[in-house]
Structure 1
Amino acid sequence: MYNPQLPTDGSQAKHGASMNTHTGDFTPRGERPGNERIRVLLKSFGLRTSLIRLKVIDALLVAAQSNRRLGVRGVHSQLLDLDVPLSFLSVREVLKRLCAEGVITFNADKSYSLHPQAAAVLNNE
């Protein structure tokens, strides 16, 4: 039976991507347009963009806006609440790598926050 929503050339429709109407390109579902500034931040530190890095930095930014500080468990819990299925170990390793590269800092209370230099890059956007 003919379904107008399916491609007629025999190929499978792509799932997990949606049309971004303001730029006319395809972006992964669940990714906010504000992530572009995080991409610029990662690039300025010489890091490749990955979904887990975007989500971890976004979680830290959201917490900072609410005057909260998150440790590894807090970041992991926040990502699980957003239906981002990442393991605790993956989150911990990303946080360690971002610390090593100077994007975020590990505080005395075992929480993480954006490094002042990284915050300056984000605020210049």
Structure 2
Amino acid sequence: MYQPQQAPAKPNGAANAGAGQLADSEERIGNELIRELLRTYGLRTSLIRLKVIDALHAADRNGRSVGVRGIHAQLEQLDIPLSFLSVREVLKRLCAEGVISLGGDKCYSLNPEARAVLESAQIR
């Protein structure tokens, strides 16, 4: 007889972490705002770009910049299976297109123009 596989039970700590992640995700900007930002810069929308910009925007709102490892760790916490190399390549492309900038401390942050696009889109 066929028995469908059940998802493994999460430990109690993971359930509590999920509640915190839900609160964090509620604070983040919507995907539509990021899509508008990508269109402004002439870039196609992809899941990884959405997630990376979302993580950068969250860090920006907290007044900090974040490196490749930090962004990759945030995505892993959200159970988004992206490789470190993929995250790094997306950051390089966003940097080359002027959406983000790389600081001397090897941390990335949104450029003021990109931030303005996101803020003007939130007002509408």
TM tier, smaller: 0.7 to 0.9
Q: Which residue of 1 aligns with 2:118?
A: 122
Q: Which residue of 1 aligns with 2:96?
A: 100
Q: Which residue of 2 aligns with 1:60?
A: 56
Within 5 Å, which residues of 2 pair with 1:11-50? Answer: 34-50=30-46
Normalised TM-score (structure 1): 0.72
Q: Structure 2: any 5+ residue segments left out of the alignment? A: 1-24
> Normalized per residue, which structure has more helix?
2
Matched residue type, 1:72 = V
How many correspondences in the alignment? 95
Instruction: Give the CA RMSD over aligned residues.
Output: 1.6
> Normalized per residue, which structure has more strand?
1
CA contact (8 A) 2:66 2:107 kept: yes
Percent sequence identity over matched residues?
67
Higher RCO (C-alpha 8 Å, min separation 6):
2
Alignment partner of 1:105: what SS?
A: strand
From 64, 70, 83, give the equivalent of 2:79.
Answer: 83
Q: What is the CA deviation profile of residues 65-86 of structure 1, one whole-angstrom value per residue up to 9, with x for unaligned ones?
A: 2223210000000100111110
Could you list the runs of 4 or more consecutive aligned residues of structure 1 that deviate by over 6 angstroms after TM superposition? none
Supply the distance in 1 between the matched residues of 2:76 and 2:34 (Cα, whole angstroms): 20
